[in-house]
Amino acid sequence: MTVSNRTTFSSAFPFALISTSAMTSASSSDVLILALGVGLAAVYLFRDQLFAASKPKTAPIVAAKGQNGSGNPRDFIAKMKEGKKRLVIFYGSQTGTAEEYAIRLAKEAKSKFGLASLVCDPEEYDFENLDELPEDCAAFFVMATYGEGEPTDNAVQLMQNLQDESFEFSGGERKLEGLKYVVFGLGNKTYEHYNSIGRAVDAELTKLGAIRIGERGEGDDDKSMEEDYLEWKDGMWDAFAAAMNVEEGQGGDSADFAVSELDIHPPEKVYLGELSARALTKTKGIHDAKNPYPAPISHSRELFEPTADRNCAHIELDTEGSGITYQHGDHVGVWPSNPDVEVDRLLCALNLYDKKDTVINIESLDPALAKVPFPVPTTYATVLRHYIDISAVAGRQILGTLSKFAPTPEAEAFLKNMNTNKEEYHKVIAEGCLRLGEVLQLAAGDDLNIYPTKENTTGWPIPFDIIVSSIPRLQPRYYSISSSPKIHPNSIHVTVVVLKYQNIPNHHVDAKWVYGVGSNFLLNLKYAVNNETPPLIASEGSSDPSHVSVPTYQIEGPRGAYKQDTVYKSPIHVRRSTFRLPTNPKSPVIMIGPGTGVAPFRGFVQERVALARRSIEKNGPDALADWGRISLFYGCRKSTEDFLYKEEWPQYVEELRGKFVMHVAFSRENYKPDGSKIYVQDLIWEDREHIADAILNGKGYVYICGEAKNMSKQVEDVLARILGEAKGGSAAVEGAAELKLLKERSRLMLDVWS
């Protein structure tokens, strides 16, 4: 496969290897261009392709007038009055973080000022009577940003109402004079449109005459959302007290939940990790995020070569008979559980190990403020294994609360210091990557380097309701689907690079490996499916199994629901995306996806292959002649190590008869003359003539997928340079304007993550 300084696929395939010349002296081997000979002409209308690349249009939403008053479940003002609530807290949330912060704000308002809040999913309420909010009340907006600065699905309507010039509030005017509001935006600085929804909400409300309380808060997921929140909230609460004319100290700590142990309960009604009532009762129903489908894994394999020090799992999830459908470019949500070691650690640290299977019920003491975040009745062990995120790095705020339950004065002092000393918290806990169980062990002087047991772990008398209200729900992990339903109608493929990294050791914490929850859950499934023994990690010099092997999970699931004979299953649901190929195959397509960013593009290429097969069958061998070129820019470290789906691409090249061209940058194999690495953006620059022509003259579509922090930005910069130059101007002016236009027309789409 590798021919000295030039890499190609098997010569059995009739494609031409084109080497671009700009970087060539030292690096032509880094540029792999696969192309078939040019096909002949044929024209056909591809009516049956279902998905255009444009975003689905959302119908303008106008709240029904005259429906206010009690009895209308969509009337938040009536609900506030009924419940004597002075704050309404709207959250725009996709994966639960904004909701979590909305609830935290509600709890703080209650404990600081004794004020009750209505925490609202904006989708569930009409927005038009915001102008009826009484003067002694305030509205909070806790809003996450997604994609190209877009709102979360549940906030689309709210944003439309705020931004639509024709939208009127219930008084018949577009005014919110004197409305008091607070904004906390959630975002990630690696994205171009940082926190744009929080900012837009703020700007629109101000335009409407509303008055912001304190500063607008902005949390950056890339650094620390928690720290940004903590830094912002005290100033905001001071301003809030003044604006609302309330004083601190009027509230008091009150529990959100009541946890009770049940002596007798029908075992078949106890949730042992089932994610829905239907899963517990084994009744049929639609499979979605509220009722994930346990999909059998029909095939799985390692995609990296044994020489790589990383894992990348290809997993095929069988959806036959589930009613689940998908389209190329969609995401699949995988619902992991926590690894055994973390479950055991926290059970021991909470003194619950002996009671781990005790059946418990949990009731919300204020359902409007905090719903029980998972199904009950359940057991202690189930909550920790399946329902809450105990594997994340422990937050700073909870440590203050937990210090009250410390087993020794030293443990209490340690937690208090971590709670109040931001720098020390950052160094010891954040950089040391300590989960809550580990922090409790460290505070109590337990040994973190051995597998946690009752005997070696100090028990803390922390009420379980505090754990439930302080630790967020374990969330599904999303993966770009790497197959096309046209070729695999009953199977969803995922391409998962397994997360494993080292912490930064400090005076309290030794060096250790940290394992991503979801990707290692899938890796475990892959090992089990193939009857493989997980490899040992020798580097830590410890003989303890927990330290020398990858984390283990209870992959057989609740009541063995995820294992049938030798077949293993994973709970999944599909999330629709707008990341789609253009309907017309004549449009040129440029796909940029290094690393696992290639995942959706495998699906895109398969989609086109399926269409090509049908077209050729119908119209003969020249059927693809007027198709646009499909270019894939892919990058990996070495051709011999982590070249994903290396053996498949030549077949796609052949089937697409010269219309599919693949460029590959091997970043650790060959270098530029100055010794620097060659990345996808260098190959794009090298191919600039074709790219400019495809975009500007061919009305082509551009897709970027993969890492958000550096890659996607640098790729966009190069695209701006190419387009600016082609337009006879600069990257900053003409190039940036062209990119903006492409985005507006959904001809430049991003599916990136950090």
Ligand X SMILES: Cc1cc2nc3c(=O)[nH]c(=O)nc-3n(C[C@H](O)[C@H](O)[C@H](O)COP(=O)(O)O)c2cc1C
Binding residues for FMN: 93-98, 144-147, 186-195, 221
Residue 477 interacts with which of ligand X, ligand NAP, ligand FAD, none, CB < 5 to 8 Å by class: ligand FAD
Closest approach of ligand X to the CB of residue 516, in Å: 15
Q: Please list, in sequence order, all residues whose beta carbon lies within 8 angstroms of the beta carbon of residue 134, skipping any fewer than 6 positions away.
A: none
Please identify which residue in the block is written with the tokens 């056909």.
44
Peptide bond into 377 cis (omega under 30): yes
Give the one residue of 76, 90, 141, 146 binding ligand X; rule: CB under 6 A.
146
Tokens of 273: 């990790």
Comparison of 316 and 682: residue with beta carbon closer to ligand FAD: 316
Strands 567-575 and 589-592: unpaired
Cβ(53)–Cβ(604) under 8 Å? no
Alpha-carbon separation of residue 280 from 251, 371, 558, 680 (angstroms): 39, 20, 9, 47
Closest CB to ligand X: residue number: 187
Closest approach of ligand FAD to the CB of residue 441, in Å: 19
Give the one residue of 7, 8, 29, 145 binding ligand X; rule: CB under 6 A.
145
373, with CB counted inside 10 A (0-12, 13-18, 19+), is buried
| Residues taking part in catalysis | 480, 705, 751, 753
Q: Binding to ligand X by residue 184, rule CB under 6 A? A: no
Give the one residue of 36, 116, 590, 636 binding ligand NAP; rule: CB under 6 A.
636
Binding mask 607-626 for ligand FAD (x = CB under 6 A): --------------------
Q: Binding to ligand X by residue 753, rule CB under 6 A? A: yes
Residue 430, Cα to own-chain centre: how many angstroms? 20
Give the one residue of 186, 315, 349, 624 binding ligand X; rule: CB under 6 A.
186
Q: Binding to ligand FAD by residue 232, rule CB under 6 A? A: no
Q: Binding to ligand X by residue 97, rule CB under 6 A? A: yes
What is the separation, in whole angstroms, between the first and last Cα of the chain?
A: 33
Q: Binding to ligand FAD by residue 749, rule CB under 6 A? A: no
With CB under 6 A as the contact rule, which of the stretches 213-221, 323-331, 400-408, 591-599 interacts with ligand NAP? 591-599
Closest approach of ligand NAP to the CB of residue 718, in Å: 10
User: How many CB atoms neighbour CB 109 within 10 A?
Assistant: 26
- Binding to ligand NAP (CB under 6 A): which residues in 472-511? 497, 499
Residue-wise DSSP of 480-549: E--S-TTT-TTEEEEEEEPPEEE----SS----EEE-HHHHHHHHHHHHHTTPPPPB--TT----HHHHB
Closest approach of ligand FAD to the CB of residue 394, in Å: 13
Q: Binding to ligand FAD by residue 308, rule CB under 6 A? A: no
Comparison of 179 and 324: residue with beta carbon closer to ligand FAD: 324
Give the one residue of 338, 483, 519, 606 binding ligand FAD; rule: CB under 6 A.
519
Q: Binding to ligand NAP by residue 667, rule CB under 6 A? A: yes
Q: 280-293 burial, b for 16+ CB within 10 Å, e for fewer?
A: beeeeeebeeebbb
Residue type, 190: T
Please identify which residue in the block is written with the tokens 């190929």.
581
DSSP letter assigned to residue 68? -
With CB under 6 A as the contact rule, which of the stretches 165-173, 448-456, 648-656, 677-685 interacts with ligand NAP? 677-685
Q: Binding to ligand NAP by residue 679, rule CB under 6 A? A: yes
DSSP letter assigned to residue 227? H
- Per the annotation, where are the binding residues for FAD? 477-480, 495-497, 501, 516-519, 753
Alpha-carbon dihedral sign for residues 141, 713, 642, 611? positive
Comparison of 518 and 585: residue with beta carbon closer to ligand FAD: 518
Residue 511, Cα to own-chain centre: how many angstroms? 27
Closest approach of ligand NAP to the CB of residue 532, in Å: 21
Please list the residues that pair with 502 across neighbouring strands. Answer: 513
Closest approach of ligand FAD to the CB of residue 503, in Å: 7
Q: Binding to ligand FAD by residue 594, rule CB under 6 A? A: no
Q: Please list, in sequence order, all residues whose beta carbon lies within 8 angstroms of the beta carbon of residue 11, skipping any fewer than 6 positions away.
A: none
Residue-wise DSSP of 113-173: H---EEEE-GGGS--GGGGG--TT-EEEEEEEEETTTEEPGGGHHHHHHHH-TT---TTSS
Phi, psi of 630 (to 5 degrees): -110, 110
Q: Binding to ligand X by residue 304, rule CB under 6 A? A: no
- Binding to ligand FAD (CB under 6 A): which residues in 495-514? 495-497, 499, 501
- Per the annotation, where are the binding residues for NADP(+)? 310, 596, 667-668, 677-681
Tokens of 585: 């195959």
Residue 680 interacts with which of ligand X, ligand NAP, ligand FAD, none, CB < 5 to 8 Å by class: ligand NAP
Q: 640-654 burial, b for 16+ CB within 10 Å, e for fewer?
A: ebbbbbbeebbebbb
Give the one residue of 44, 54, 72, 96 binding ligand X; rule: CB under 6 A.
96
With CB under 6 A as the contact rule, which of the stretches 24-32, 136-144, 491-499, 630-638 interacts with ligand FAD? 491-499
Let me know how many helices (H) and strands (E) the chain has, helices first. Answer: 22, 28
Give the one residue of 117, 157, 195, 391 binding ligand X; rule: CB under 6 A.
195
Q: Please list, in sequence order, all residues whose beta carbon lies within 8 angstroms of the beta carbon of residue 667, skipping any fewer than 6 positions away.
A: 30, 635, 636, 637, 677, 678, 679
Give the one residue of 39, 187, 485, 582 binding ligand X; rule: CB under 6 A.
187
Tokens of 75: 């009337």
Please list the residues that pair with 40 across neighbouring strands. Answer: none
Comparison of 273 and 339: residue with beta carbon closer to ligand FAD: 339
Q: Binding to ligand FAD by residue 309, rule CB under 6 A? A: no
Binding mask 595-634 for ligand NAP (x = CB under 6 A): xx--------------------------------------
- Binding to ligand FAD (CB under 6 A): which residues in 334-393? 391
Q: Binding to ligand FAD by residue 478, rule CB under 6 A? A: yes
- Per the annotation, where are the binding residues? 93-98, 144-147, 186-195, 221, 310, 477-480, 495-497, 501, 516-519, 596, 667-668, 677-681, 753
Interface residue list for ligand NAP (CB under 6 A): 497, 499, 594-596, 635-637, 642, 667-668, 677, 679-681, 706-707, 710-711, 714, 753
- Binding residues for ligand FAD, rule: CB under 6 A, are 331, 391, 477-480, 495-497, 499, 501, 516-520, 596, 599, 751, 753
* Residue ranges in contact with ligand X by CB under 6 A: 93-98, 144-147, 149, 152, 186-188, 191, 193-195, 221, 225, 753
